[in-house]
Chains A and B, each alone.
Chain A
Amino acid sequence: MNLKLKFLSLLLVGMGISILTTAQTPLDGLMMPKGDICVAVVYEDANWDKYWEGTYLRTNQNVGTFNRKMVMPMIVGGITDKINLIVSLPYVKTSASGGQLAGVEGLQDFSISLKAQLVEHTAGKGKLKVFSNLSFSTPASNYLADYLPFSLGFGANELGLRAIGLYELDKGPYFRISGAYLHRGATQAERDFYYEDDAFYTSTMDVPDALHAQASLGSWFFQKKLRVEASLTSFRCVSGSDIRAYNSPQPTNKVDFDRLEGFAQYYFNNVKGLGVLAYYNHMFSGRNMGQFSGYGLGLTYQFNAF
């Protein structure tokens, strides 16, 4: 039972902290057994007051401090012991303390993902596990991606393929790495002309594909009631342009970042199936995006459904 909740929490963290650009894909190294369902909700609040124009970190008083709030409901189900299905649908709200541009709010992207455990064997005093994850997300409302930095998301379909490796000692400490390729489609702007090192006579904007990698070091405590983890995440678009001098970003930009994250999760002894989680993250380098720092809080509840 604990394992399932851990799985979910890990999943939530993976999704919650990567909501803006890394897509809502599970990163963890755990599975739920057949017939189990988990419902969860994560609240996230993140800010930046500097952004990278290309690689130049700058301020803009006409944005001031940028804020993004998100509420993300999610459902995870064990189809078999080796294959899990995960769906989520975040609601996002953006605003800025400076300038006169209006923030926006609404449903962001509906995400569905399948995760399969491919390998599990005992190695030394722990276990080695390998997972693969196939994810798909698509905009869930008609939000305009070409309204940066306020837009709710990148406005395109995304197909992601991820490999996850986990080595966990029986005593609790674990190390996990994952890498993903995220193939993104095109988003539709409302203008039919834009500049991207050339003039484009179309409203179709290609959103660059991206690579996402994460390394995490964590451990379980108190008979697996508490888990604490630190992660390093790197995100790199494989193509795209830089934001032009003192100009707005656009969905065709090359977005990169590196981020440190701290995460903790706790399962209650007295309420069966209930868990809480909290995290904080900070970007320490990037390109063509705001330097976000944010925290998240989540509640999870798991039960056997069939």
Chain B
Amino acid sequence: MKIQIRYLFALISLAALSYSCMEELPTELEFSGYEFAALDKDAGEWNLILFSNNEEVVISQPSAVGSPGLNQELQDAKAKIAKATSSQKEAVNYWTNNPLLRWNEIALELATKYNLIPAPNADGSYPAPDPAKPDQYPLFPYSHPPYTSRMLAYLSVAQYDGLIMAWHYKEKYGRPAPYELDSQIKSAYEANGLNSYPSDGAVVAVTSRDILTAMFPLEKEFLAKMADEHLESLILAGINVNSDVEAGKLIGNQVAKKALARAATDGMKNAQTNKVKSDSIKNAAITRFGWSWENMETPQRPVGLTPLFGKVKMWNVPTVEEVRPIAPPAPGSAEFNKDAEELKRFANNMTTEQRRVANFWNDGLNSYTPPGHWNRFAKETAVKYKLSPVRTARVFAYMNMAIVDAGISCWDAKYYYHYPRPIQSIPGFKTILGTPNFPAYTSGHSTFSGAAAEVLSHFFPAEASQYKKWAAEAAMSRIYGGIHYRFDAEIGLSQGKKVATYSVIRAIKDGAETF
């Protein structure tokens, strides 16, 4: 009996111990509102991306300090703040004074949610997402890396142009924030002296909501709910009154419209072709080079992913041909054999570190993709350097333009050269990563990463060695994973870097670097 009691005691103790070890896992970037390193008061004069004039969206002159209209707005704000519920206060903490970072995070989450490849039908054919019927399986969109890279570029460019205009009017009208006009109102964030008309937060909320709703139509209600919560938080945080928010919404709305008008005609809707077109692209490669890529899945997917993404309108590169890389070595050539042998060697002697690198950078289906991975790095860096919203937007706009341009250039190379994957060219070859449904040369991961690292290195020179290391690691990860040859990765890296140079040159001349 004694033994039995001891045994039971031991059981209970162990069970209690094990429950005390549970931890809460992070579902967002952990940061709170912060004091900006600089207010960037001249940002209203920086070059716009989509617009040519910082007053192209017109907002009315705000009511003056001391006017009955503004005083009433301050009273209304105070009443709302006094009645704020705990969930509203949580929202104020969540959105922070650099809410673009939260919207970018939402964009990455939606990219992940919609990044699922269609399953075959029972008869062996494959269905495709239909933008006209987004809720029918497979859901629209299939947020693969090209889709996500383009989505992020529109989001970031619209946020940036909207914020430049907001900064212009903030400086022009010079209306102080509510917490400066009324001592009873406290700013929920660092009181930074930024003028409040129009609300930069409202610009970000509305541009983000509208761009993301167009990109993820099934998320319309979710995005509207998030935007409403964000807009409400601006007044509850003590940093805006209602007219600030309304003016910001107007800018956001107009900027998003202009961005979406470009998106409607950028060629993306033709990127996924039918089989006839796809076969003609393949046959052109066979004529040109004597080889072609085949999808190796069962049943075989009849068309690769977005064969004409390479024809989508670029942001900063005049023609895709001028950044097209040199031809890869022919399958069976000595140069090819050397890199194919390397793949077999890695597969047969995979180290723990190589496996870790392959998986860390996999960013495949059901993930935010490599463009998302670099957006995550950019967010962390923006917080580290305490960038103002407009300077944060600038980093994202130039980086995401470079990333999507790199993707377009990469896809141009992929379908121009139509190069077989290792599982096609090396008999019996097995991999630890799934092989994507598009040709090998050049590596998308490498091209995206080469471009992102180049732009971020320009903006954050002290971090450049880290970015370059990451990009090189992302490129190597595909070799370890068995889905790319070394030449795909190395040439992809330099291709991405070259494409990004166009964005960097534009950034250097945009008026933001004269300090």
Q: A residues within 8 Å of B by Cβ?
A: 61-62, 80, 82-83, 98-103, 114, 116, 118, 132, 134, 136, 142, 144, 146-147, 159, 161, 183, 185-186, 189-195, 198-202, 204, 206, 244-248
* CA–CA, A200 and B367, complex, Å: 10
Contact, CB under 8 Å: B366 / A161: no
Contact, CB under 8 Å: A247 / B3: no
Q: Give the residues from 419 to 458 in chain B that come closer than 8 angstroms, CB to CB, to chain A.
A: 423, 429-432, 434-435
Using known A-B contacts A161-B15, A201-B28, determine if residue A101 contacts B117 with beta carbons closer than 8 Å: no
Instruction: Identify the closest chain B residue to A103 (Cβ).
Output: B430
Contact, CB under 8 Å: B359 / A189: yes
A-B pairs, 5 with minimum CB distance: A190-B359, A246-B119, A61-B298, A102-B430, A199-B109
Using known A-B contacts A147-B432, A159-B15, A247-B116, determine if residue A102 contacts B347 with beta carbons closer than 8 Å: yes
Contact, CB under 8 Å: B368 / A193: yes
* CA–CA, A114 and B365, complex, Å: 43
Contact, CB under 8 Å: B298 / A195: no
Instruction: Identify the closest chain A residue to B296 (Cβ).
Output: A100
Pairs across A and B, CB under 8 Å, 14 listed: A61-B298, A61-B299, A82-B4, A99-B297, A100-B429, A134-B7, A142-B352, A185-B18, A191-B367, A195-B112, A198-B109, A199-B109, A200-B25, A201-B26
Contact, CB under 8 Å: A101 / B431: yes
Contact, CB under 8 Å: A101 / B25: no
Q: Is B11 an interface residue (CB 8 A)?
A: yes
Instruction: Identify the closest chain A residue to B361 (Cβ).
Output: A191
Min CB gap A236→B, angstroms: 19
Provide the residues of chain B in CB contact with A246, threshold 8 Å.
116-119
Min CB gap A71→B, angstroms: 23
Contact, CB under 8 Å: A101 / B366: no
Q: Which of B10, B358, B366, B376 contacts A195 (CB 8 A)?
A: B366
Provide the residues of chain B in CB contact with A147, threshold 8 Å.
359, 432
Using known A-B contacts A118-B4, A191-B362, determine if residue A62 contacts B347 with beta carbons closer than 8 Å: no
Q: Is B67 an interface residue (CB 8 A)?
A: no
List 12 additional A-B contacts (Cβ < 8 Å) besides A195-B109, A206-B22.
A98-B298, A132-B8, A190-B359, A191-B367, A193-B367, A193-B368, A194-B367, A200-B26, A244-B366, A245-B137, A248-B365, A248-B434
0/1 per residue, B1-41, Cβ < 8 Å to A?
A: 00110011011001100110111011111000000000000
Q: Which of B18, B23, B360, B423 contacts A190 (CB 8 A)?
A: B360
Q: Is B105 an interface residue (CB 8 A)?
A: yes
Contact, CB under 8 Å: B434 / A199: no
Min CB gap B363→A, angstroms: 8
Q: Which of B7, B118, B138 has the most CB of A within 10 A?
A: B7
Q: Which of B3, B21, B29 contacts A116 (CB 8 A)?
A: B3
Q: Is B133 an interface residue (CB 8 A)?
A: no
Provide the residues of chain A in CB contact with B435, threshold 8 Å.
100
Using known A-B contacts A161-B11, A245-B137, determine if residue A199 contacts B28 with beta carbons closer than 8 Å: yes
0/1 per residue, B339-358, Cβ < 8 Å to A?
A: 00000000100001001101
* CA–CA, A216 and B108, complex, Å: 50
0/1 per residue, B249-269, Cβ < 8 Å to A?
A: 000000000000000000000
* CA–CA, A136 and B15, complex, Å: 11
Q: Is B186 an interface residue (CB 8 A)?
A: no
Contact, CB under 8 Å: B4 / A183: no
Q: Is B113 an interface residue (CB 8 A)?
A: yes
Q: How large is the interface on B (under 10, 10 to 19, 20 to 34, 35 or more residues)?
A: 35 or more
Q: B residues within 8 Å of A by Cβ?
A: 3-4, 7-8, 10-11, 14-15, 18-19, 21-23, 25-29, 105, 108-109, 112-113, 116-119, 137-138, 296-299, 347, 352, 355-356, 358-360, 362-363, 365-368, 373, 376, 423, 429-432, 434-435, 482
Using known A-B contacts A100-B296, A185-B21, determine if residue A198 contacts B27 with beta carbons closer than 8 Å: yes
Q: Which of B26, B119, B137, B297 contacts A202 (CB 8 A)?
A: B26
Contact, CB under 8 Å: B423 / A244: no
Min CB gap B12→A, angstroms: 9
Contact, CB under 8 Å: A190 / B7: no
Using known A-B contacts A61-B299, A201-B28, A202-B25, determine if residue A100 contacts B119 with beta carbons closer than 8 Å: no
Provide the residues of chain B in CB contact with A83, threshold 8 Å.
3, 7
Instruction: Identify the closest chain B residue to A96 (Cβ).
Output: B430
* CA–CA, A146 and B355, complex, Å: 12
Min CB gap B426→A, angstroms: 10
Provide the residues of chain B in CB contact with A146, threshold 8 Å.
359
Min CB gap A10→B, angstroms: 20
* CA–CA, A111 and B328, complex, Å: 51
Contact, CB under 8 Å: A192 / B116: no
Contact, CB under 8 Å: B366 / A144: no
Min CB gap A198→B, angstroms: 5
* CA–CA, A245 and B138, complex, Å: 9
Min CB gap A22→B, angstroms: 18
Using known A-B contacts A159-B14, A246-B118, determine if residue A132 contacts B112 with beta carbons closer than 8 Å: no
Min CB gap B383→A, angstroms: 13
* CA–CA, A132 and B10, complex, Å: 12
* CA–CA, A142 and B356, complex, Å: 11
Min CB gap B11→A, angstroms: 5
* CA–CA, A202 and B366, complex, Å: 15
Contact, CB under 8 Å: B28 / A191: no
* CA–CA, A101 and B433, complex, Å: 7
Instruction: Identify the closest chain A residue to B352 (Cβ).
Output: A142
Instruction: Identify the closest chain B residue to A204 (Cβ).
Output: B25
Contact, CB under 8 Å: A245 / B10: no
Contact, CB under 8 Å: B365 / A247: yes
Instruction: Identify the closest chain B residue to A100 (Cβ).
Output: B423
* CA–CA, A211 and B112, complex, Å: 31
* CA–CA, A246 and B356, complex, Å: 24
Contact, CB under 8 Å: B429 / A245: no
Q: Which of B297, B359, B363, B434 contacts A144 (CB 8 A)?
A: B359
Contact, CB under 8 Å: B366 / A247: yes
* CA–CA, A236 and B211, complex, Å: 42
Provide the residues of chain A in CB contact with B297, threshold 8 Å.
62, 99
Min CB gap A62→B, angstroms: 6
Provide the residues of chain B in CB contact with A99, threshold 8 Å.
297-298
Instruction: Identify the closest chain B residue to A184 (Cβ).
Output: B18
* CA–CA, A245 and B120, complex, Å: 11
Provide the residues of chain A in CB contact with B434, threshold 8 Å.
101, 248
* CA–CA, A229 and B355, complex, Å: 43
Using known A-B contacts A118-B4, A247-B366, determine if residue A192 contacts B28 with beta carbons closer than 8 Å: no
Contact, CB under 8 Å: A183 / B137: no
Provide the residues of chain A in CB contact with B112, threshold 8 Å.
193, 195, 199
Q: Which of B117, B119, B368, B432 contacts A102 (CB 8 A)?
A: B432
* CA–CA, A199 and B366, complex, Å: 10
* CA–CA, A201 and B30, complex, Å: 10
Instruction: Identify the closest chain A residue to B7 (Cβ).
Output: A116
Min CB gap B430→A, angstroms: 4
Using known A-B contacts A61-B298, A147-B432, A245-B137, determine if residue A132 contacts B11 with beta carbons closer than 8 Å: yes
Provide the residues of chain B in CB contact with A247, threshold 8 Å.
116, 365-366
Using known A-B contacts A144-B359, A161-B15, determine if residue A199 contacts B118 with beta carbons closer than 8 Å: no
Min CB gap B76→A, angstroms: 35
Q: Which of A114, A183, A198 contacts B18 (CB 8 A)?
A: A183
Using known A-B contacts A100-B429, A144-B355, A144-B359, determine if residue A132 contacts B367 with beta carbons closer than 8 Å: no
Q: Which of B23, B27, B137 has the most CB of A within 10 A?
A: B27
Q: Which of A136, A142, A199 contacts B108 (CB 8 A)?
A: A199
